[in-house]
Amino acid sequence: MTRRGKNQGKNPSQSEIDFSISLSMPDPGVSEQSDRTSPDSKRFFKSDESSVADLQTRTVTDILPGYPLKADNIECIPEQVKAVLRAESGKNFLFEAPTGSGKSYIAAMIAAGKIAAGKRVLYLTATETALGQFEGDLERTLAVPRQQFLAVSGKIPPTEREKLYSEGLPSLLAALPGTIQNDLEKGRIKPSDFSLIIIDEVHMLRGDHAFSKVLEYFKDHSPQIIGMTATVPVKEERRAFLLERLGVQSETALNLPVRPLIEKVIYCEPSKRQRDAGALLERAAGDLFTELLNMSVMQEIITNAEELKSKNDKARQFVEAYNKVTGAPPYGFKMPSASDYNTIHNYIWSLFQGFFPKSGVNTPAYRKHQNPYGGPLSVSAAIGVVRHLHSSLLTIGLEPTLNKITEDLIRLYTPQRVLKKRPGRYMRRAYLNPHTLEAIDTITKGTPFQRILPQVDMNVPEERSRLRTTLQVAFSEDDPQSARGQKLLKFVGELKKSIPDMIRELRQSPEPDHPALPLVTEALRDHLRTHPGSKGIIITEDTYHAKTLAEILTDELKDVGIKPVVVKSENSARAKRATQKNIEAFKKGEVNLIVGTSAIEQSFHAADTDFVVIWNPTSVWERFAQQRGRVRQRGQAESALVLTKITRGTEDEIRDRVARSKNRRKERERQIRAAKELQGDLFGDLG
C-alpha cells in the first residue's frame, strides 16, 4: 500500500520531505528459479501428515531427524527447511534470499546434516565481521561439541593454524577465503578433506577474487558447492559467470519472510556557496578537457575509436561517453558523470598500458619520454580529481571537501625527499588551475594560501598567476634542506595549524555543512522521540564525513540520547579491531548509532537495528539491496525506516532513479518465479 505525501506532485523545496510508505516492500534480490521441489522436500511438503501448516506444532528436529541441532534456538520456517532438504540431494545450488532472512541458519542446518553423515564442511565468508557472526550462529544452533567447528582467519598465525589442523580437522571449518587459499597452497589442508563448500556473499565471486582462487583447488575433487547471497548480479555476464563457477543452471529463490520497510526521501537544493564553488570546478574541468582535446594524440585516439566502435565494445563505450561529455552545440562541455568519466579514463589507461613492449618495460623514464599516451592520461587523471571534488562538494558537504583539499595540498607541498612518494603531475594540473584556486577560496571564504600568504590577493588575476607560478616552481624542489625546501616545510606546517580554524569557521557559519543536514537531523529526532530505544546506521561515501556526522549529531541530538560510533573500512589489523569493538558495543546497546562507509553494507547484522540513513544513493542494485538489508531482519513486527538523502541536480538523483528501476525489475521477476514455484508445488505430482 502506498500513501502520497501532501506535497507530492509538486517540486519539493529545500525544507520538504517527500515520502512513501510501503508496508510490504519488495524483497530485493530475488531472481529466476528453475529448480523444482526435490523428492526429498516432497516428503515434507507434499504429504498430508507433514504439511506446511503443521510447522506450528513441530520442531526442526522433528522434520530433520538425526540433524544435531538445538531446536529451541531455530524457528521452523518452510522455505528454510525446503532449502536444507534440497541440499540433501548432493547437487550444487545458488540460494538467493533477502538480507536478514536467515541464510546463515540455513547454512548451519545444511552443515549439521553433513556432520551427521560423517562428512566435513568448509564455510567461506568475505569479512572478519561476518566470520565472527557466523561462529556465534553455530554456537546457538549446532548441538555438537565445540571442538567440532572452528573459525580461522589471518588473526591466527599460520604456524598455530597448522598445529590446530594437525590435531584433527574439525567437522566444520569456517574461514576467510584468503586464509584458506594460503593454507591450501602451503599444504596445511587438502581439497579432499571436504565434501561440501558453502560460500556466503557469493555474488562477490569474480575471476580475481579469493573465492574464485579457492575453488580452483577443488576443481579436480568435485565437492558439493552451495552459494548463498541476497543479490545475484543483475548484469547477465556477471550472473552467467557466477552460475558457471558454481556449476548450476539457475539460482534458487527462497521466499523467506523479512521485515517491512518505510521508505522516506529527503530532497534538498545545493546552497549558494556549493553552487558557486561547483560552477568554478566545472570551469576548471572544462579547461582541462580543452587541454586534453588540443593534444594531437588525443585526436588520434578519438578517430581510431570511431573506426573501431562497430567491432570493439570498449571503443564504442568510449565514443558514447565522449559525446555525452562534449555534448552537441550549443551545449559544449559538461561535468562528466562518474560512469562516463571512468569509461573515458579507463580507455586511455588501457592504451597507455598496452603501449609497453612485451619485455614489460615500465620505468618512470620510459613512461615520461616514450609512451605517447602519458600526456592524455595525466590530464584525464587531473579531470578526475576536479570531478571528485565537485561531486563531494555537492553531495557530501563542505567540510569533507575541505578535508580532501587540505590533505592533497599537504602532499603536494611537502618536499619529495620528505614525502618519499610524490603525487603525480596530474595533481598539480588539478590544483594549480586558476578556477580550482577560486573554488577553494569560495569553499573556505579565504583559501589556505591567503591564510599563510596574506600578501596574495586571490581576487586579482595577476596575483593568482604569480602565486601559481611560484607554486609550480616549488613543486620541482627536491631538497628539504634548501632555502625553498625549508619554506615549503614551513608552509605545510602552517597549513596544518590552520585546518582546525577553517573547520571551526565552517561549523560556526549560519550556513549548514550541507542543506540536507538539518533535515536529516530533524527526521532522526522525530523518529527517536516516537521510537525510544531505536538503533540505526548512517551510510556515507567518505570516511571523514562519517566522523564529521558523528560529531555533529552528538551535539545536535543530545536531547534524544544519540550515542554514535564511527566504523571504517577494514584495511588494517588495527581498523579491524576497532570495527569489531564498535560493532559489539552497538549490539550490546552501549551505543545506538553506527556511522560508516560502504564497508558496513555487507555482512553486518544486528537484529534490533530499525533505521538506516543513506547519505549517498547508489546506482548499483546489489548495494541498494544490501543497504536496506541492514534493517530487514525477520522477527521484527514493526516496520523499519529507510531514509535517503537526494541533492537535486546532482548524481544523487540519477543513481537513486537507476537503482529503483532495477529493483522494480527484480521484483517483477520475483513475482513471476514465485507463481511458477507455487504452480510446481501444487501440481508437480499430477503428471
CATH number at residue 75: 3.40.50.300
Mark whether 215 and 72 lie in a shared domain.
Answer: yes
Distance CA(650)–CA(615), nearest Å, equals 13
- pLDDT at position 130 over 50: yes
Mark whether 185 and 285 lie in a shared domain.
Answer: no
Please state whether the peptide bond connecting residue 330 to the residue before it is cis, i.e. omega within 30 degrees of 0: yes
C-alpha cell at 130: 561476518
Give the 3-state secondary structure of residue 607. Answer: coil
Mark whether 138 and 115 lie in a shared domain.
Answer: yes
- The amino acid present at 495, given as its one-letter code, is L
Mean pLDDT, residues 322-340 taken together: 74
* Residues forming a β-bridge with 402: none
* Domain contains 249: yes
Mark whether 317 and 332 lie in a shared domain.
Answer: yes
- Per DSSP, 359 falls in state T
Mark whether 201 and 309 lie in a shared domain.
Answer: no
Give the 3-state secondary structure of residue 647. Answer: strand
- What pLDDT sits at residue 379? 93
Degrees, nearest 5: CA angle 504-506-512: 130
Cβ proximity of 193 and 120 under 8 Å:
yes
* Domain contains 680: no
Give the 3-state secondary structure of residue 508. Answer: helix
Mean pLDDT, residues 105-124 taken together: 93
Based on C-alpha coordinates, what's the Rg of the chain?
28
User: What is the average pLDDT score of the chain?
Assistant: 79
Distance CA(526)–CA(503), nearest Å, equals 28
- pLDDT at position 615 over 50: yes
Give the 3-state secondary structure of residue 208. Answer: coil
Distance CA(54)–CA(63), nearest Å, equals 10
Mark whether 160 and 191 lie in a shared domain.
Answer: yes
- pLDDT at position 7 over 50: no
- Closest CA relative to residue 91, chosen from 249, 199, 260: 249
- What pLDDT sits at residue 188? 93
* Domain contains 677: no
Cβ proximity of 541 and 615 under 8 Å:
yes
- Closest CA relative to residue 73, chosen from 143, 135, 141, 149: 141
Q: Burial, 201: exposed, middle or buried (Cβ in 10 Å; 0-12, 13-18, 19+)?
A: buried
Helices 374-395 and 338-354: crossing angle in degrees, nearest 10, is: 160
* Domain contains 679: no
- What pLDDT sits at residue 265? 95
Distance CA(263)–CA(624), nearest Å, equals 13
Q: What percent of the chain has pLDDT over 70?
A: 77
Mark whether 537 and 622 lie in a shared domain.
Answer: yes
Mark whether 215 and 328 lie in a shared domain.
Answer: no
Mark whether 362 and 344 lie in a shared domain.
Answer: yes
Q: Which residue has the higher pLDDT, 346 or 251?
A: 346
* Domain contains 117: yes
- What pLDDT sits at residue 129? 78
Mean pLDDT, residues 223-239 taken together: 87
Distance CA(673)–CA(659), nearest Å, equals 21
- What pLDDT sits at residue 41? 37
* Domain contains 681: no
* Domain contains 33: no
- pLDDT at position 534 over 60: yes
Mark whether 652 and 546 lie in a shared domain.
Answer: yes
- pLDDT at position 359 over 70: no
220 C-beta neighbours (distance < 10 Å), count:
8
Q: What percent of the chain has pLDDT over 90?
A: 34
What is the number of residues in the chain? 687
Q: Give 441's contacts (C-beta < 8 A, 6+ positions apart).
A: 447, 450, 458
Mean pLDDT, residues 493-500 taken together: 78
Q: Give 232's contacts (C-beta < 8 A, 6+ positions apart).
A: 29, 31, 94, 96, 203, 239, 242, 251
Which of 458, 488, 508 corresponds to the end of one domain? Answer: 508
Mark whether 193 and 53 lie in a shared domain.
Answer: yes
Which of 225, 253, 281 corresponds to the end of one domain? Answer: 253
Give, rounded to a whole angstrom, the gap between the first and last alpha carbons of the chain: 38
Q: Which residue has the higher pLDDT, 450 or 628?
A: 628
Most confident of 156-170, 241-255, 415-429: 156-170
For the chain, what is the domain count? Answer: 3
Expressed as residue numbers, the domain containing 549 is 17-25+261-268+515-672
- Say if pTM beats, i.e. exceeds, 0.85: no
- What pLDDT sits at residue 455? 53
Mark whether 445 and 546 lie in a shared domain.
Answer: no
* Domain contains 642: yes
What's the CA dihedral at 189, 195, 199, 204 to 10 degrees? Answer: 70
220-to-191, 192, 216, 622 alpha-carbon distances in Å = 9, 9, 8, 32
Which of 472, 490, 508 corresponds to the end of one domain? Answer: 508
Extended beta strands in 316-398, E state:
none
Mean pLDDT, residues 569-583 taken together: 72
